């Protein structure tokens, strides 16, 4: 281990590259606010008035002020270590002083976007316990400086908490990997398989939202996109155009999923250490996330119809974080196989953690009520087709109702739960499968709720709270829900093991 040459007891600034990061953040917010006006200026500006020129002068003035503010913010931003605390002083007009005790620091993660990689700097993110903030971060720090800062903080935290964390938080990249056992490494072929088997409906929804946002922004800017559709031949705007748009939309959704997966998970490596896990991935934005065993509150994995074909699961390790739970603090690994998931659960829970667990189904009323309410959505199609003599509309309504009945049945069949003395498993899914595993000693609270209908049927929903999020079991017998709640609360209160 090389010795650090940095004296963090002396106030220090970030890398000068941080100025560019701050300016970029300022301009990004500015562009979002004035985007409709920019559309007017570049697309709908008129030569009959000087509004465009005045607006351009205004934008230039705001940009210069934003640049000046960013430079001042950089030079008035200092950080240093005092005893067992990380201290940050910042502010342009007013000054603030943030003190973070080492024992409150949960994780220290690195991130590099394309600009960081060009200038050989890192964004350092410090997640703290009990903070309403998502994270405490530095915009740009030299790599060796960031590694040295993390090393000092974690070593002093180790002395304060008597937790062996040094092997999981080694700072030198080459030395770090020596203490880790590789679990998974995704190749380009693996990434392509993951991208092809992604949820393309979600990607399509994002594309629709983006198109709607552009359409709405154009209307707010005084431009009416509908004017440009008036010249389209009504006959040409029929089935052929709709089919063509649908094909283009499907292709775009597929390409979006594929490109997003490759960029986000490029070079993904997943390691196991003596007392934690670590993941590193990303092409333009590289992320390095670590999670210690005692901070992991829940492990879940899921697949879909396409991933069943190639045997892939999406694995998620959810750890305790700040008050605002953020997916960025969880470890998400696509392209895992069942044996790799078993390796993770054995390392964290032990080889026999899931022995003697009998799975229980929720009440059948859960299925019947879903069937009833979802089938109501098909009634307007049936009525519309009947009164307008449109058999195809009636057939479409019937198909819709059948789909709702089938999905309700699958949802019910896969909704199960079970537990032994140590672990709880909750299963679900529709066409794919999902499993969530929770150590009982890490469950924080059990909430039992009933609707008026459930009270009549002596049923209840059980909501399980953890430091990494909540899980709900629907339509459980009321007496069973009370029994489950009492058992879990007894096990958590009688245990002296560390939950976080």
DSSP 3-state of 160 = helix
- 187 neighbors 195 (Cβ within 8 angstroms): no
Query: pLDDT category, 129, cuts 50, 70, 90?
Result: low
Mark whether 68 and 159 lie in a shared domain. Answer: yes
For residue 229, pLDDT over 80 is answered with: no
Distances (CA, A) of 485 to 63, 444, 448, 453: 57, 11, 8, 21
State which residues form the domain around 210. Answer: 188-265
Mark whether 111 and 240 lie in a shared domain. Answer: no
296-302 and 286-292 strand pairing: unpaired
For residue 162, pLDDT over 60 is answered with: no
Mark whether 244 and 193 lie in a shared domain. Answer: yes
134/398: higher pLDDT: 398
The whole model's pTM is what? Answer: 0.75
End-of-domain residue from the set 397, 412, 427: 412
Q: Is 468 a member of any domain?
A: no
Mark whether 21 and 58 lie in a shared domain. Answer: yes
Cα four-point dihedral sign 104, 107, 112, 116: positive
Please give, one letter per residue, the 3-state secondary structure of 400-457. HHHHHHHHHHHHHHHCEEEECCCEEEEEECCCCCEEEEEEHHHEEEEEEECCHHHHHH
The per-residue pLDDT for range 394-422, each reduced to its tens digit, is: 888 899 899 999 999 999 999 999 999 99
How much is the average pLDDT of 437-456? 94
Q: Is 325 a member of any domain?
A: no
Strand partners, 289: 279
The per-residue pLDDT for range 237-274, each reduced to its tens digit, is: 555 776 777 788 888 888 888 998 999 999 999 999 87
Which pLDDT score, from 0 to 100, does residue 222 have? 59
| Residue appearing with tokens 């000046």 | 68
Mark whether 215 and 152 lie in a shared domain. Answer: no
Q: Give percent of the chain above pLDDT 90.
A: 35
Query: pLDDT category, 220, cuts 50, 70, 90?
Result: low
Q: Is 223 a member of any domain?
A: yes
Q: Is 354 a member of any domain?
A: no
Mark whether 243 and 145 lie in a shared domain. Answer: no
The per-residue pLDDT for range 308-344, each reduced to its tens digit, is: 999 999 999 998 765 444 555 688 999 999 999 999 9
Mark whether 139 and 201 lie in a shared domain. Answer: no
Q: Is 145 a member of any domain?
A: yes
Mark whether 25 and 158 lie in a shared domain. Answer: yes
Phi, psi of 139 (to 5 degrees): -70, -45
Domain count, the chain: 3
Which pLDDT score, from 0 to 100, does residue 372 have? 94
Mark whether 123 and 236 lie in a shared domain. Answer: no
Mark whether 114 and 76 lie in a shared domain. Answer: yes
Both tokens of residue 113? 């976007």
Q: Is 205 a member of any domain?
A: yes
Mark whether 158 and 229 lie in a shared domain. Answer: no
Which pLDDT score, from 0 to 100, does residue 41 have? 61
Average pLDDT score, the chain: 82
End-of-domain residue from the set 394, 412, 430: 412
Which pLDDT score, from 0 to 100, does residue 277 have? 92
For residue 218, pLDDT over 70 is answered with: no
Which pLDDT score, from 0 to 100, does residue 221 have? 58
End-of-domain residue from the set 200, 233, 265: 265
Mark whether 157 and 205 lie in a shared domain. Answer: no
Concatenate the DSSP letters of all residues of 385-401 into one string.
Answer: HHHTT-HHHHHHHHHHH
Q: Is 112 a member of any domain?
A: yes
Q: Is 334 a member of any domain?
A: no
Query: pLDDT category, 487, cuts 50, 70, 90?
Result: very high
């Amino acid at each position: 281990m090389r010795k650090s040459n940095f004296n963090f007891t002396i106030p220090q600034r970030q890398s000068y590259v941080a100025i560019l990061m701050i300016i970029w953040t300022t301009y990004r917010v500015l562009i979002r606010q004035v985007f409709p006006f920019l559309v007017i200026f570049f697309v709908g500006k008129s030569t009959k008035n000087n509004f465009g020129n005045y607006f351009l002068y205004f934008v230039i003035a705001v940009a210069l002020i934003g640049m000046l503010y960013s430079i001042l913010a950089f030079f008035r931003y200092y950080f240093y270590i005092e005893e067992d605390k990380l201290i940050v002083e910042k502010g342009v007009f007013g000054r603030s002083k943030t003190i973070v005790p080492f024992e409150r620091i949960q994780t220290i993660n690195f991130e590099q976007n394309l600009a960081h990689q060009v200038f050989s700097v890192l964004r350092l993110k410090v997640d703290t316990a009990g903070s309403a903030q998502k994270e405490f971060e530095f915009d740009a720090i030299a790599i060796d400086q960031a590694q040295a800062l993390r090393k000092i903080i974690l070593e002093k935290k180790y002395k304060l908490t008597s937790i062996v964390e040094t092997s999981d938080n080694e700072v030198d990249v080459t030395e770090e990997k020596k203490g880790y056992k590789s679990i998974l490494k995704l190749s380009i072929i693996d990434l392509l398989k993951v991208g092809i088997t992604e949820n393309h409906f979600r990607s399509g929804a994002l594309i629709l939202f983006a198109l709607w946002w552009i359409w709405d922004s154009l209307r707010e800017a005084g431009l009416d996109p509908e004017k440009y559709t008036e010249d389209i031949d009504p006959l040409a705007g029929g089935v052929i155009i709709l089919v063509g748009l649908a094909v283009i939309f499907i292709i775009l959704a597929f390409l979006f999923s594929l490109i997003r997966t490759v960029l986000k998970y490029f070079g993904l490596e997943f390691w196991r250490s003596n007392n934690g896990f670590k993941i590193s991935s990303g092409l333009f934005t590289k992320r390095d996330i670590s999670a210690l065993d005692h901070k992991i509150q829940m492990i879940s994995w899921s697949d879909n119809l396409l991933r069943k074909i190639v045997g892939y699961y999406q694995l998620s390790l959810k750890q305790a974080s700040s008050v605002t739970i953020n997916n960025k603090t969880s470890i998400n690994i696509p392209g895992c196989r069942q044996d790799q998931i078993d390796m993770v659960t054995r390392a964290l829970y032990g080889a026999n953690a899931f022995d003697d667990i009998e799975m229980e189904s929720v009440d059948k009323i859960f299925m019947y009520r879903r069937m009833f309410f979802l089938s109501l959505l098909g009634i307007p199609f049936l009525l519309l087709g009947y009164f307008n003599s449109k058999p195809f509309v009636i057939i479409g309504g019937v198909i819709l109702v059948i789909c709702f009945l089938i999905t309700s049945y699958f949802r019910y069949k896969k909704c199960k739960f079970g537990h032994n003395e140590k672990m709880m498993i909750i299963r679900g899914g529709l066409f794919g499968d999902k499993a969530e595993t929770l150590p009982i000693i890490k469950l924080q609270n059990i909430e039992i709720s009933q609707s008026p209908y459930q009270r009549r049927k002596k049923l209840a929903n059980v909501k399980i709270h953890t430091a990494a999020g909540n899980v709900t079991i629907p339509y459980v017998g009321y007496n069973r829900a009370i029994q489950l709640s009492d058992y879990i609360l007894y096990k958590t209160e009688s245990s002296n093991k560390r939950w976080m």
